[in-house]
Amino acid sequence: MGRRLSQVRLVNLKLSKVDWKKSDPEHGKYVFEGKPVYVDYKSDKAPLPDHKVQWVNQDHVDTWKYRYDYDLVRWQDKLYWPEGLVPNAEGWYQYVDTRLMMCPAHLFVERKKAALEKSRRAASARQAEFREEARRDGVIVEEIDTDKLLR
């Protein structure tokens, strides 16, 4: 396996032009008509995939399945392929002690929005608590002042 996990690029099979007659997905062999389309969340060059795809430690797979609605990426789905890797006997991809999993993008985004909103509410509550404590000590702190202090 001489590569690091960060060096394994994920191919978006749905957006790539795959020659399915010449490919052998069960053995991790794909033939592309042109260049494959890679999953890239950091660049605007590649379109975003329909799923959030990531490697998950095998000890946490059940948690990710049931708590976060992730599922294992299987070659039979013909959605994603970690370039150069062969699926295991059960049909999903494993790299050392991690497994490739995916979650529908809209569920991932909803969870991130909820977490961000919760974080904002917590920050607002801390600011209000700080202002109240300062008021009890005889100091009047405006909301604008706490915003500047906490940046």
Q: Which tens digits make up the pLDDT trace of 121-140? A: 887 778 788 778 888 888 77
Dist. CA 132–CA 129, nearest whole Å? 5
- pLDDT tens-digit series, residues 6-19: 889 999 999 999 99
pLDDT > 70? residue 148: no
The set of residues, in sequence order, having a beta carbon less than 8 Å from that of 86 and lying 6+ positions away, is: 27, 28
Two tokens, residue 79: 């959605």
- For the segment 50-76, the average pLDDT, to the nearest whole number, is 92
Q: Is the dihedral of CA 79, 83, 84, 89 positive or negative?
A: negative
Question: How many other CB atoms are found less than 10 A from the CB of residue 25?
Answer: 19
| Beta-bridge mates of residue 133 | none
Q: What is the pLDDT of residues 34-62, one digit of tens each?
A: 999 999 888 877 788 888 999 999 999 99
Distance (Å, rounded) from C-alpha 93 to C-alpha 54?
11
Task: Name the phi and psi angles at 100, rounded to 5.
Answer: -80, 125
Q: How confident is the model at residue 29 (pLDDT cuts 50, 70, 90)?
A: very high
